[in-house]
Chains A and B, each alone.
Chain A
Amino acid sequence: ETGVTQTPRHLVMGMTNKKSLKCEQHLGHNAMYWYKQSAKKPLELMFVYSLEERVENNSVPSRFSPECPNSSHLFLHLHTLQPEDSALYLCASSQGGAGGEQFFGPGTRLTVL
C-alpha cells in the first residue's frame, strides 16, 4: 500500500449504530487530519493530530471521537449520528511544520439513515 488509505470506502449506518472509520498513511508523516466534505459546505477541518497529540478540535460535536494510536493510524469513531452528518470524510497526512502539503486519502462516503 502506498500513500493514504481509508476504509471503508462506503458506509451506511443508522442513527443508533456505532462505527469507526480508519485511515492509514504510508508516507512517514507525523501529522494527520480529518476533514468533512458535504454538499452544503466546503471542506471543513475537524481534527488535527501532530506527533499523535490532538492539536486541533474544530468545534466538532462529541458524537465524533478521534483516536490516533500512532503516527501511521487515525480513527474516527462514530456514535448516535444524525442524517446531516452524511458526507464524505477525508483523511490527510503531512510532514508537520509550516508549508508542507497534505496528502489525502480517497475518503469514506458516509450515509446516516
Chain B
Amino acid sequence: AQKVTQAQTEISVVEKEDVTLDCVYETRDTTYYLFWYKQPPSGELVFLIRRNSFDEQNEISGRYSWNFQKSTSSFNFTITASQVVDSAVYFCALSEEGGAQKLVFGQGTRLTINP
C-alpha cells in the first residue's frame, strides 16, 4: 500500500535561514511519481514539482531544491534563504502507475518564516 510520511508537523525559522522539509514514502511499485505542493493561507494547493521513480537527479529551481533518494525512499525539499512569502503548508504526495491517478498525500508540514 502507498503511504507518505512527513514527520515534521511544524517548522519555524527566521527569514534567510535555509530549511529542509522531509518526506518519506512507501510503495510496492517500481514505477511511481512524487510531488510537492504548497498550500498558502488562501487554501489553494500549488503544484511545485513532480519526479518519476526513474529519475533520481536532484533538481534546483531558484531558491527551491529537491533531493530524491530511492535508497532511503525519501524526497526532501529545501528552501534556501527563506522568505516570509514561503510561509505555507507543504505537502508531499505519491502516485503509482496505472489507472486514474490517485494522489496519496502526507500529513503536511506547516512552515512559518518569521521576519
A42 touches B100 (CB 8 A): no
Q: Decide if A104 is an interface residue (CB 8 Å cutoff).
A: yes
Size of the chain B interface, CB-CB below 8 angstroms: 27
Closest to B46 in A: A104
CB distance from A12 to the nearest CB of B (A): 17
Chain A residues near B98: list those with CB within 8 A.
98
Chain A CB within 10 Å — which of B42, B44, B47, B50 has the most?
Answer: B44
- Nearest A residue to B42 via CB reads A106
Closest residue on chain B to residue A51 by CB atoms: B100
Give chain B residues whose Cβ lies under 8 Å from the Cβ of A48: 100-102
| B101 engages A102 (CB within 8 Å) | yes
A42/B105 in contact, CB under 8 A: yes
Contact A99 B101 (CB under 8 A): yes
Total inter-chain residue pairs, C-beta < 8 Å: 66
Given the interface pairs A42-B106, A43-B105, A48-B102, the reply to whether A98 lies near B47 with Cβ below 8 Å is: no
Known contacts A56-B102, A94-B101, A102-B103: does B91 contact A43 (CB below 8 Å)?
A: yes
User: Number of contact residues on A: which range applies?
Assistant: 20 to 34
Do residues B47 and A31 form an inter-chain contact, with CB atoms below 8 A?
A: no
A45 to B100: give the CA distance in the assembly, Å: 12
Closest 7 CB pairs of A and B: A104-B45, A43-B105, A50-B100, A106-B44, A55-B100, A99-B33, A107-B43
10 example contacts (A-B, Cβ-Cβ < 8 A) are as follows: A43-B105, A50-B99, A88-B43, A90-B43, A96-B101, A98-B96, A98-B101, A99-B50, A104-B45, A104-B47
A residues with a Cβ closer than 8 A to B are 31, 33, 42-43, 45, 48-50, 55-56, 88, 90, 92, 94, 96-107, 109
